[in-house]
Structure 1
């Protein structure tokens, strides 16, 4: 099998994606726990690439520490440092000392999903000066942010960078292939007046007009140019949507003496797409465990008393891809599950908020005092983590053993820049028994104090 070579410009700072890129290169932002850059390396492997040169900039050591020499990814990776930001064209030009035959280029901060990149090999094996990938789009406004071209057949006659009035529906994307002659054209290129950078589209345009043999490759599948946080959200949504039916879903139910309601909860959540019901027994002395097992729920025990301890046991005891936490008192219902799962396609955590009055059943345990307390604690998190875009109106229940565990979990998610969204869900009257941490004003007050303590502790211990 032929071993090809590639170059990836990955020096972009991603200023429009702050705070996600405050201490991290844009190409190292993750989708499903994997850097964007890694997805593009996987595409290059489909193109029979074995040798990759990655151009890095600020925080580039993070890229080197993650990928090292590439052996773990079945690649040979070399790193080139772009000392000053002089554009993508300049970054590609830095490969001249390392590359002396045709090579691929994929920009490190673009996301491709279910694409046909492998078909590009047919063009690559023929004589060419440059290859450019284009994707047909219905929304021409997207082209204004990238580039397009005048194409006859598959021959590129000229390129237009960020056209104000696109005449074509072809969106130019960040996948290319070049003959080494491109290095001479880059050295002769004039920096753009606007950014004083070497634009690779200007270089390709010059080659197309003077040297010809510039060809178009027509890309299929989904593509996202990641410039803003909203673009990362869209890429995450498209990626997860394409694979959502492969994820397994576990519903975790912490329970302590809930024999009157546990059957209803297990039955209610035993629906598609739930793969597993996990009941975490927290020292129940009634028939909670027997009832849950009779209904084919998986039951594990947590001897250390406390809501937080039970949740930790449940979260650590399952291998589900999607973990749904609900109460054992039937105060939440499975009918909200489809909406929660839909939001999970672009978020890392979805919180069902109980503070929408229209969705609170009459008789449910959510009076004005509890509602005010939830909103107050949520606003404290919002203020103390103002730069993380926290929007909590309902603080529910990691070192925390009790009800404060939920707010601690939210904070840890925020600290690692994971995306959290909250949506209103129905809240119903509990079936039997009483709440273990909010049945009286005194319990509410104690729970609120424990939450406030963990919020302040996490904030003032944090260096983020």
Structure 2
């Protein structure tokens, strides 16, 4: 079995972060989201991985390399434009050959990995196997319809009137029959080759499509709220470790990681928190569920439930919460100016001004 990892796309919901960085490389607990997916693929016993890349190809290549650091063999597959998930399968045809494969969206996060999913596919040998989860608003997802026995009988992409609340999670398993269907697909109303249409084509041709309800946690980390939630979840499992320096005037409470070369002085850090290598926390408060990447500085400030990316600095700021701070960003107080009101009042006016 091979893996096809999708790492293209513009990441518009994470702008402005993704103006200068691939969305799949935004870190969760100081590790890019993409890396969690690659590790899950490796742990499932898969070694050959094709990564579909677009405009951020250079950055993805620089981060992943040849895949050896993950125990993988990586082949890069350029995609001229984000023309749909099934288009990624189309351009990967030569790489995939006649092998079964798992397709994994590189900005998805799944707790518990895909070992059981892959084992079931190998054991039962359907034409395709999809992962499903219940969502509150299925109109934003691909949606599956099941029969009484739980077999997939229909799929729709972002329907106006969903037939169920079962959304497709960004992991799919296919046998080689899918290539025949993909080759005959027509673009949807979104001008994309939809993977839901490919799976529907397998169903319509009488091939068996099975589903698995996800038992763990899944998120599409496509927006800031979801990124912060996944960061919170991962930090819940960190083990405390202090390899950097912490002075006697500082207090570490709970699960706090201080990586090598980082320093904490005159500060209170309440975990779970990660302070990345080479970062400085001085005269500050760092609250729960905060990840500070490497080479950052937090000075005379307060921050919690946030992600701070590499090289950012926060200096003299009273309170930051629920925030995603980009690489090399600088956060400082606004200049202090006297408060004043400018008024142009008509005759006999009455104005109340709060102090």
Per the normalisation by structure 2, the TM-score is: 0.73
Tell me the equivalent position of 2:129.
131
Distance 1:238 1:352, change over 3 A: farther
- Are 1:162 and 2:73 an aligned pair? no
Query: Greater helix percent: which structure?
Result: 1
Deviation at 1:117, TM superposition (A): 4.1
Give deviations 1:114-139, integer Å, cap 9, x for gaps. 3454343122333221111112x3x4
Once residues 123 and 224 of structure 1 are traced to their aligned partners in structure 2, the CA distance between those partners, rounded to angstroms, is 22
CA 1:184/1:275 → structure 2, altered by over 3 Å: closer, same or farther? Answer: closer
TM-superposition CA deviations, 1:115-167 (whole Å, max 9, x none): 454343122333221111112x3x421x2221221113342111122233444
Give, in whole Å, the separation in 1 of the partners of 2:234 and 2:5. 21
| 1:273 shift after superposition | 2.4
Aligned to 1:144: 139
Q: 1:248-278: per-residue Cα shift (whole Å, max 9, x none)?
A: 47894587xxxxxxxxxx7xx48x527899x
**Bigger strand share:** 2
Aligned pairs for 1:263-342 (under 5 A) are 269=251, 272-273=253-254, 322=274, 340-342=286-288
In structure 1, runs of 5+ residues without a counterpart are 256-265, 278-310, 355-387, 396-412, 423-447, 449-464
2: CA distance, partners of 1:50 / 1:96:
18
Query: Do the aligned residues in 2 keep the contact of 1:115 with 1:219 (CA within 8 Å)?
Result: no
Normalising by the residue count of structure 1, what TM-score does the alignment of the two structures yield? Answer: 0.57
Aligned to 1:49, what secondary structure does the other structure show? coil
Q: Counterparts of 2:184 and 2:195 in 1: how far apart (Å)?
A: 12
Distance 2:209 2:26 in 1: 32
Q: Does 1:208 align with 2:208?
A: no
Over 3 Å counting, the alpha-carbon distance change for 1:392 and 1:117 in structure 2 is: farther
Change (3 A) 1:129 1:116: closer
Partner of residue 196 from structure 1, selected from 170, 191, 194: 191
Return the alpha-carbon distance in structure 2 between the equivalents of residues 70 and 113 of structure 1: 22
C-alpha contact 1:113 1:222 (8 A) present in aligned 2:
yes
Q: C-alpha displacement at 1:34, in angstroms?
A: 1.8
Match of residue 219 from structure 1: 214
Higher deviation after alignment, 177-186 or 159-168: 159-168
- Three-state SS of the structure 1 residue aligned to 2:47 is strand
Which of 213, 220, 240 aligns to 1:247? It is 240
1:352 and 1:203, CA in 2 relative to 1: closer, same or farther beyond 3 A?
farther
Cα separation, partners in 2 of 1:175 and 1:326, compared to 1, 3 Å: same
- Asked if the contact 2:245/2:263 (under 8 Å) is kept, the reply is no
Residues 397-444 of structure 1 deviation map (CA, whole Å, 9 limit, x = unaligned):
xxxxxxxxxxxxxxxx9561679899xxxxxxxxxxxxxxxxxxxxxx
Q: Is the 8 A contact 2:4 2:52 kept in 1?
A: yes
Alignment check: 8 A CA contact 2:4 2:50 kept: yes
Q: Rate the CA distance shift 1:15–1:49 in 2: closer, same or farther, 3 A.
A: same
Q: Is the 8 A contact 2:51 2:76 kept in 1?
A: yes
1:344–1:414 CA distance, 2 compared to 1 (3 A): closer
CA distance in 1, matches of 2:157, 2:257: 51
| Aligned counterparts of 1:326 and 1:226: Cα–Cα separation in 2 | 31
